[in-house]
Structure 1
Amino acid sequence: MITTLIDLLLAPVYFYQGKFVRDHIVMLPEPEGERKGIIGSGKQISLLVVGDSSAAGVGTSSQEEALLGNILTNLDDIFEISYCLLAKTGARTRHVITRLKRQPEKSYELAVTALGVNDVTAGLSQKEWISDQRELYGVLREKFRVEHILVSGLPPVSEFPALPQPLRWFLGRSARTFNTALEHLCEEEGCHYIPPDDVNADVSMMASDGFHPGPGVYKAWGREIARTIRLVRDQSAQG
């Protein structure tokens, strides 16, 4: 009740601070590099990575330094990986669903998602976002026959240097509630939730815009996803 009243009183501040950030934030480009291919040697796996600018690797100079590159680097010693990256700056979950529906059908054993920050900043309700996430998992399973979905939790938005207070506090609180709901959804849907705490990366390692991950964050994130993929594969082999 008190929080709702505070939000109502501060709504104009949130609005103008959000507009200021959008108008003045440094727009970093998506890095160059291969987004589709085959790498490594060993048992064959197929991997689809979908998401927003963080999935695209904004904040790095190449895909090798980005999320995709770090996942592959931590897997290509034991797997031959057929991979595809579908990610775009500014994408929300609904945008990714639309894009996936336009893609040709293809089978992937694993999918990694990195979405949510743009949904939060766009003011989407938690209910709407969870509904979109649920639909996304359905598309991945039904159209792309994905067996294992790894879902990245939202980053600590409350610590983003690019966001002024109280907007940072407001969006950070929303991101935390989204993560709580996302973790519950993953339990219901049988997905593998990757908590932001497990990435274990310092905010000081963020990109120069104060909004995107830097190479150090991507390195920790990619390593954690790769660790989960290895675990999932081991469990599948045993089961």
Structure 2
Amino acid sequence: MKNIPRLKEAAGPKWGSVDVCGEGGAPCRLLVIGESTVAGTGAPTHELALTGQLAVGLSARRHLPVAWEAQGVNGATLERIGSEVLELVQYPDPDIVVLVAGANDAMAGRTPAHWGGDLRRILAAFLDPGRPREIVVAGVPPFRFFPALPVPLNEFLERRASRLDAVSARVCRELGLAFVSFADDPPLGEAFFAADRFHPSVAGYGHWANFLLDALNEPRPELAST
């Protein structure tokens, strides 16, 4: 892990807007929070990183403008996301929340019990019976395909990550939220990765965004009516 080059986070504003179809009107507010992948590490700007590409895809699929915000920190565990990253959010009333975390927790050896407690605390910040809101929790990307990780480290980390994913899936079922597992995602080729062979490239972020968009493919009726 010490030999992995340290790439910069995405440059430029951490929020923006997109209206692919030119529909106009009030935008859907998208908040993506998490670790280095939300910080855009490996991409030049947030528009080309995960959040920006997710916003473009969401706008195209739903035919509406999307105002997006990306709040992520390199090396952040779920605990740190709950205690620090949430405080950075500029627009605290999103329509859609996507949580992307787990790689750092797996590498740090966080226990499933700690993970579950941190996850519930973060989700509680957005759960409101009086405010319909879509919430998606992303699973940990498959470590076994990371070129920067040697065997058997990649397999060891993936086993850790799978235990965290199992907790996420259970919590999301209990709360009626969407959990997106990457366990069945096709193998990730070299083009998916940035120069450090660990974080996604611009193409990799596009692949990931499309995978997540399937969980947001159908707008909920109560959101459409607000």
TM-score, structure 1 as length reference: 0.80
- Residues 59 and 188 from structure 1, CA distance in 2 versus in 1: closer, same or farther, beyond 3 angstroms? same
User: What is the CA-CA distance between 1:236 and the residue it aligns to?
Assistant: 5.0
Q: What residue is the counterpart of 2:193 in the other structure?
A: 206
User: What is the CA-CA distance between 1:201 and the residue it aligns to?
Assistant: 6.0
**1:75 aligned partner, one-letter code:** L
Distance 2:113 2:7 in 1: 31
Distance 2:122 2:108 in 1: 18
| Partner deviation per Cα, 1:48-95 (whole Å, 9 max, x = no partner) | 110101112212222222101211221334112122111111111111
| Partner deviation per Cα, 1:84-134 (whole Å, 9 max, x = no partner) | 111111111111111214657731111011000101111110111111111
Q: How many residues align?
A: 215
TM-score, structure 2 as length reference: 0.84
Q: How does 1:1-239 map onto structure 2 within 5 Å?
A: 21=1, 23-40=2-19, 41-42=23-24, 44-77=27-60, 78-99=63-84, 100-101=86-87, 106-141=92-127, 147-197=133-183, 200=186, 202-204=188-190, 205-233=192-220, 237=224
Q: 5+ residue gaps in structure 2?
A: none
**Percent identical:** 28
- Residues 208 and 234 from structure 1, CA distance in 2 versus in 1: closer, same or farther, beyond 3 angstroms? farther
Larger helix share, 1 or 2:
1
Distance 1:146 1:105 in 2: 16
Is the radius of gyration larger for structure 1 or structure 2? 1
Say which SS state the counterpart of residue 89 (structure 1) adopts. Answer: coil
Q: What's the Cα RMSD here?
A: 2.4
User: What is the CA-CA distance between 1:208 and the residue it aligns to?
Assistant: 2.0
Say which SS state the counterpart of residue 160 (structure 2) adopts. Answer: helix
**1:66 aligned partner, one-letter code:** A
Distance 2:47 2:180 in 1: 21
Q: 5+ residue gaps in structure 1?
A: 1-20
Q: What residue is the counterpart of 1:3 in the other structure?
A: none
**1:49 aligned partner, one-letter code:** V
Distance 1:103 1:75 in 2: 20
User: What is the CA-CA distance between 1:26 and the residue it aligns to?
Assistant: 0.3
- Residues 147 and 219 from structure 1, CA distance in 2 versus in 1: closer, same or farther, beyond 3 angstroms? same
